Amino acid sequence: MERFKLVKDPVHGYIVLDEDMLRIVDSAAFQRLRRISQLPFVYLVYPGARHSRFDHSLGCMHLARMLGEKLGLDEYKLRVLTIAGLVHDLGHTPYSHLLETLLREKGLTHEDMTLRILEEDNDISSSIERCGVSVKDVKSILEKRDPLGSIISGPVDIDKLDFLLRDSYFTGAFYGVIDIARIIYTSRLVNGRVALSTRALGVLEELAIARYQSFMNIYFHHTVRAVQTMFLRGVRMLRDVLDFSRMSIEEYLVHDDFTVWCLMHQNEETRGVVRNIERRILPKVAYEYRVYERREHLELIRDAEAIKDIEELIAGEAGVPHEYVWIDTPYIPPLPYVDQDRIEFYIEEDGKTILREYVSPLLKFTSEIYEILRVYTMKEYLDRVSKASAKILRRELF
């Protein structure tokens, strides 16, 4: 008799783990995800946002299984897809996407680290093999060499479906409440690709709006980004200790939110950063510039050195210590609608399922990049930094 475990999830209800899948979940690499926050420091604005990559990964596994069953995958493919949903975030840095910035500056991503963990962590790889599937096949989906990879990472993937609902639930900001079931039940495999019925266009537009609103009101909330920007600068001071790109997988998996926080506390240079966060003494917005669609002048300051140079120019103009000026340049990634990874639609006509182009102004809007440039400083310097920012940025960028 097959043994299984029921996990009570506040978002999806009961999530089922069989004995073999439970071995993956109980591995050290997966348990580490309990100690990596899904939304770093968002709890300073939305106190309930304390959920982790662990919760999200279980949710993604659950949705991957649901969608795979709806698409009529055979038992083996369904197993591979379900495991891919479970392990897709194993490679996250501490503090999730916030410290992934340090990886990206070295040409790596958390997806790259996930693949390395699958290759180099024997506990994970053997647990996957015990599930009766090949690690190679799981990697094929994660690397999107298999067309089913779009279910894990694509324009309408289980990652987005879970994090929008989950983040809405734990923040209490209900921007991301969407009809996931309708998206799943109207999905089909057409010519080897996942497509949505044109009858699901309304819920897909809701998803696009929910995603946009979640970015603007949760992920890019000015206070959230203020503390994240301040914290990231502090972590950069520990680059000799926290160079994630050069670590072995064994070293990498030692680190989580707690180890980084403790390292910050123990270091004399960075201790002040965490103490300010503990007391909620945070930077304020001195200047903000928003633009819909890509702008080359914002691309110019994507790298850390360019940002540092402009921060120092603004600090000099304002006559304040340069350590009290922070620049942040968040942007909402586009929801693919017109490129090769675009959302596919189908209609059913004369008993046949046919791919069909579909025009939606709302989806077109969210297929563009929305960018924000903010300059932060401490409360006592707001007026001076505001004026200096307007002057320097107008001269340097606009």
Average confidence score pLDDT of the chain: 92
Least confident of 141-150, 293-302, 376-385: 293-302
Domain, as residue range, for 59: 4-282
Instruction: Identify whether 224 is part of a domain.
Output: yes
Instruction: Report the percentage of the chain scoring pLDDT > 70.
Output: 95
Q: What CATH number corresponds to the domain at position 121? A: 1.10.3210.10
Instruction: Identify whether 325 is part of a domain.
Output: no
Binning pLDDT at 50, 70 and 90, where does residue 339 land?
low
**Minimal CA–CA distance to 150: which of 56, 208, 74, 67?**
67
User: Taking a C-beta distance cutoff of 8 angstroms, is the pair 345, 201 a contact?
Assistant: yes
Task: Identify which has the larger pLDDT, 334 or 383.
Answer: 383
User: Which whole number is the average pLDDT over 89-110?
Assistant: 96
Binning pLDDT at 50, 70 and 90, where does residue 243 land?
very high
With a cut of 70, say whether residue 248 has pLDDT above it.
yes
Predicted local distance difference test score (pLDDT) of residue 295: 65
Predicted local distance difference test score (pLDDT) of residue 297: 63
Its pTM stands at: 0.94
Q: Quote the DSSP letter at residue 322.
A: G
Instruction: Identify whether 311 is part of a domain.
Output: no
User: Which whole number is the average pLDDT over 102-106?
Assistant: 94
Instruction: Identify whether 344 is part of a domain.
Output: no
The model's pLDDT over 24-44, given as tens digits with 9 standing for 90+, comes to 999 999 999 999 999 999 999
Token pair of 41 as six digits: 């420091």
Predicted local distance difference test score (pLDDT) of residue 361: 84
Instruction: Identify whether 241 is part of a domain.
Output: yes
Predicted local distance difference test score (pLDDT) of residue 336: 63
Question: Could you tell me the CA-to-CA distances from 339 to 4, 100, 109, 167 in Å, in that order?
Answer: 42, 26, 22, 28
Torsion angle defined by CA atoms of residues 34, 38, 43 and 47, in that order, rounded to the nearest 10 degrees: -70
The model's pLDDT over 13-29, given as tens digits with 9 standing for 90+, comes to 999 999 999 999 999 99
Predicted local distance difference test score (pLDDT) of residue 338: 46
Q: How many domains are there within the chain?
A: 1
Predicted local distance difference test score (pLDDT) of residue 120: 97
Binning pLDDT at 50, 70 and 90, where does residue 358 land?
confident
Instruction: Identify whether 26 is part of a domain.
Output: yes
With a cut of 90, say whether residue 350 has pLDDT above it.
no
Task: Identify which has the larger pLDDT, 67 or 155.
Answer: 67
Predicted local distance difference test score (pLDDT) of residue 191: 83
Q: How many CB atoms lie within 10 A of CB 377?
A: 28
The model's pLDDT over 119-149, given as tens digits with 9 standing for 90+, comes to 999 999 999 999 999 999 999 999 999 999 9
With a cut of 90, say whether residue 218 has pLDDT above it.
yes
Instruction: Identify whether 243 is part of a domain.
Output: yes
User: Taking a C-beta distance cutoff of 8 angstroms, is the pair 297, 344 a contact?
Assistant: no
Question: Could you tell me the CA-to-CA distances from 226 to 39, 44, 238, 328 in Å, in that order?
Answer: 14, 11, 20, 8
Element (H, E) at 16: strand 13-18
Instruction: Identify whether 298 is part of a domain.
Output: no
User: Which whole number is the average pLDDT over 149-158?
Assistant: 92
Predicted local distance difference test score (pLDDT) of residue 187: 95
